[in-house]
Structures are given as C-alpha cells and as structure tokens.
Amino acid sequence: MKILPPGIRDLLHEPLGPVYSEKDVLAKLKHRHGLLVSVGDTISYVLLVNKVEPEIFFYDLKNLRRPVSPQVKELLEKHAKRLLVVKNPAGGITGELEAAVAKVLKNKRGRVFVDGEEDLATLVVLALAPVGTVVLYGQPEKGVVLLTVDEEWKLRAKDLLEAMEVVE
C-alpha cells in the first residue's frame, strides 16, 4: 500500500486543474471524445441524473465522509453494473485499487465501489488511462475538476504516485 506523505497531501488539497460548475461541465461533455471517468459519488450522480453515463465511475456512498442520501445511493447502485468492490483507506492507495483501475480501463467500462475512500483513484486513473480520457472529480465546496489525459498528466500522476510512501 502507498500512503500520502504530508507534503503531497497538502499539494492535493488544491485542484489538479480548472474547476467548473456542474452546468459548465455538462456543457463541455457534449463535445468530448474518448472515455469518461468520474471519481466520486456527487459527480457520478450529477452525470447520471443528467443522462450522461460515464463508462467508468468510482464511488464510496459518502460525500465529505458522510453517507450520501438514499436518492444518490439508489441511482448509483442502479447503474453499478460490472461492479468491482475494493478496500482502500483514506490517504492511501492499495494494490487492490490499482488493479481495479487497470481492469476497468482495459475493459473500457466498469463501476468500482470503494470500501473506504475513492479520492486517490484519480491519480491512478490519470497515470494509466489512455490519452484523451476525460476524468472528472469533485473539489469540495468549489465545483468539479475536469482533466483530459495527455502525456503530461500521465507523467505528473506517475511522479505523484512514485513520491508516495510504501508501507506494508
């Protein structure tokens, strides 16, 4: 397992890219190409309720570490076909999570329920996803970060993953 050292933890509190409103993200997605990956319950719910189905999404049935509403839970679970379930603690990345990311990206479809916290799946997705993949994640109290994977993002994510501390 890898855990975030304090310096990287502070860095990741800031958005990795531009932050948009949900409305602006939905408008931008009308012109997208490639895979759509959402990391987090709220953004996955927003997409699904607006009839935009991500090929891949990660969720933990929590928002800001509190249980999501029954309405959000029902919709996410309704769309949880091809479901993988993994354990992953807050502030860490398990081999189980990395394997699940690799599997859903290889299949170009899938849902991953994370028993624990899914936030850092974003880094693994950025490192492993094909160029052109659109990755969305929520930035608490600010909006939605939209990133399009390119070689620069892949290298940056790999560097961040390599800087994490490996623990048993």
Name which of 5-9, 29-33, 98-102, 161-165 the model is least confident about: 5-9
Q: Which one-letter amino acid corresponds to residue 97? A: L
- Domains contained in the chain, number: 1
Q: What is the pLDDT of residue 125?
A: 98
Q: What is the pLDDT of residue 135?
A: 98
Identify the domain containing residue 73 by its residue range.
2-166
Name which of 2-6, 97-101, 118-122, 158-162 the model is least confident about: 2-6
DSSP letters for 16-28: SS-EE-HHHHHHH
Q: What is the pLDDT of residue 119?
A: 93
Q: Is 91 exposed, middle or buried (0-12, 13-18, 19+ CB in 10 A)?
A: middle
Tell whether the model's pLDDT for residue 51 goes beyond 80: yes
Prediction pTM value = 0.95
Rg of the chain over CA atoms, in angstroms? 15
